[in-house]
Amino acid sequence: MSQTNEFPNLPADCKSMLCKYLTKEVFEALKDKKTSNGFTLADAINSGVKNIDSGIGVYAGDVESYDLFAPLFDPIIKEYHGFSATDKHVSNLNPDDLIAPNPDPDGKYIISTRIRVGRNVDNMPLGPAITKEQRNKVEKDVSEALMAMTGELAGSYYPLNGMSEEVSAKLIADHFLFKAGDRFLEAAGLNRDWPEGRGIYHNDDKTFLVWINEEDQLRIISMQMGGDIKEVFSRLMTAIKEIEKKVPFSFTDHLGYITSCPTNLGTAMRASVHIALPKLAEDMETFKAITDKYHLQIRGIHGEHSESEGGVYDISNRRRLGVTEVQCVQDMYDGVVALIKKEQSL
Ligand code: ADP
Ligand code: ILO
């Protein structure tokens, strides 16, 4: 882990939350601190310092980082989630509470639906501070737990180490697998020892998938073609509860499920649709006004930091902390209904 006494050289036009909240005072107060896993302020900010086009720019090395470096993390959490240091996170994993009849039963707009949560193993450092041995233990414990899944969730584990270039390229292109070499993760220390310890578990239909040791130790994913959002949510809730019986997850009453990036704290849930909105795409101002109203984020169809193709967008909930899992999906659902209505009117 690294340490620095020098305030980083951040350009004046830098727009990340790191640039906004890392004042000289905050830097001086935190620069000599170190968590019990040896994680420092320099480690926490390296991704945003190396990638000045970051939106956020910081990562935690362990649950302790959120306390020790609170003068930096708290204002970022407040701005991203609207969640204060005194607020408490709330959870609701009950699919019966979600009101989400398919908003596009004729399949004119919604191509596919995907909901994922991030999870990390309790009493382990997070990815940016984990050792190779600890990471390999996470892979072993989690893949063994997954191999015991039954019914619709039964599947196989495919380690990245030894996977052919052809197979991984196809899994990535089909939106099932994470990409290699992400520069934000690289600078956060999340790609160390790549590809060892990483892999993907999935059922035969690829409707239930788990990424192991990417940005978080587990990314639990439910996805399928079309817009049956409730079915996707129900499958995910069943899977989470099954996995949690065998793998204890890192969780605090204040921050909910602990993740390496502060944008994912709380529910750690991103519920998205790939949706064709070619007319609305010509009027980005109206498009953004709707997504802002419903707390949604617009991404391209090859994941974060990618572009839209052919008027197809990835639309997902933005808030994840201080709102329940049901509310995250409800945000996405209500916004998607409004977007489809607008597209139809154009
Ligand atoms: P994450 O959601 O895990 O934070 P990304 O934005 O990088 O990360 O997306 C991961 C992968 O999931 C990408 O290949 C992306 O295209 C795919 N994906 C996201 N949402 C959907 C969706 N609704 N349907 C199909 N694939 C999706
Ligand atoms: N560190 C990147 C990504 C932030 C949010 N997304 C994820 C995947 N955690 C940035 O600051 O733009």
The mean per-residue pLDDT over the stretch 334-346 comes to 96
φ, ψ of residue 91 to 5 degrees: the values are -125, 145
Residue 86 makes CB contacts below 8 A (sequence gap 6+) with none
Is the distance from CB of 264 to CB of 216 less than 8 angstroms?
yes
The atom number, within ligand 2, closest to the CA of 261 reads 9
Q: Is 54 in the pocket of ligand 2 (CB under 6 A)?
A: yes
**209 CA → ligand 1 middle, Å:** 12
Q: In whole numbers, what is the pLDDT of the chain averaged over residues?
A: 96
**Which pLDDT score is estimated for 4?**
75
Ligand number nearest CA of 80 is 2
What DSSP state is assigned to residue 120? -
Q: Kindly report which listed range (5-14, 114-123, 152-161) carries the lowest average pLDDT score.
A: 5-14
pLDDT beyond 80 at 2: no
Domain 95-345 has CATH 3.40.50.10580: no
**pLDDT band for position 8 (cuts 50, 70, 90):** very high
Task: Summarize pLDDT for 179-216 with one digit per residue, the tens.
Answer: 999 999 999 999 999 999 999 999 999 999 999 999 99
Task: Specify the pTM.
Answer: 0.96
- Model confidence at 330: pLDDT above 90: yes
- pLDDT for residue 307: 78
What residues pair up with 317 in beta bridges, in sequence order? Answer: 296
- How far does the centroid of ligand 1 lie from the alpha carbon of residue 214, in Å? 14
Per-residue pLDDT at 187: 98
Q: pLDDT (tens digit, 9 = 90+) per residue, 275-323?
A: 999 999 999 999 999 999 999 999 998 877 777 788 999 999 999 999 9
274 lines ligand 1 (CB under 6 A): yes
Q: Ligand 1 pocket check: which of 110, 113, 114 to mutate, most ligand atoms within 8 Å of Cβ?
A: 114
- Assess whether the region 17-81 and the region 95-345 belong to the same CATH fold: no
Hey, is 218 helix, strand or coil? strand
pLDDT at 251 exceeding the cut of 90? yes
Q: Is the pLDDT of residue 20 over 90?
A: yes
Given 263, 267, 291, 324, which residue is catalytic? 263
pLDDT digits (tens, 9 = 90+) for 139-153: 999 999 999 999 999
Q: For residue 252, what is the enclosing H or E element?
A: strand 251-252
Helix boundaries (H) for 158-228:
165-173, 183-187
What are the C-alpha distances in Å from 46 to residues 7, 8, 51? 12, 9, 8
Is pLDDT above 80 for 247?
Answer: yes
Domain boundaries, the chain: 17-81, 95-345
Q: Is 301 in the pocket of ligand 1 (CB under 6 A)?
A: yes
Which member of 19, 114, 116, 318 is catalytic?
116
Backbone angles phi and psi of 312, in degrees to 5: -100, 130
Distance CA 342, CA 275 (A): 13
Close Cβ partners of 133 (under 8 Å, ≥ 6 residues apart): none
Q: Is 304 a catalytic residue?
A: yes
52 lines ligand 2 (CB under 6 A): no
Q: Which of 119, 135, 198, 270 is catalytic?
A: 270
Say which CATH class 17-81 falls into.
mainly alpha
The enclosing H or E element of 336 equals helix 325-345
Q: Ligand 2, atom 8: nearest CA belongs to which residue?
A: 304
Pocket of ligand 1, candidates 184, 272, 273: which has the most ligand atoms within 8 Å of its Cβ, to mutate? 272
Q: Determine which one of 219, 235, 318, 320 is catalytic.
A: 219
Q: Which residue, by CA, sits nearest to atom 21 of ligand 1? A: 114
What are 75-122's pLDDT values in tens digits?
999 999 999 999 999 999 999 999 999 999 999 999 999 999 999 999
Mean pLDDT (whole number) for 256-262:
98
Q: How confident is the model at residue 260 (pLDDT cuts 50, 70, 90)?
A: very high
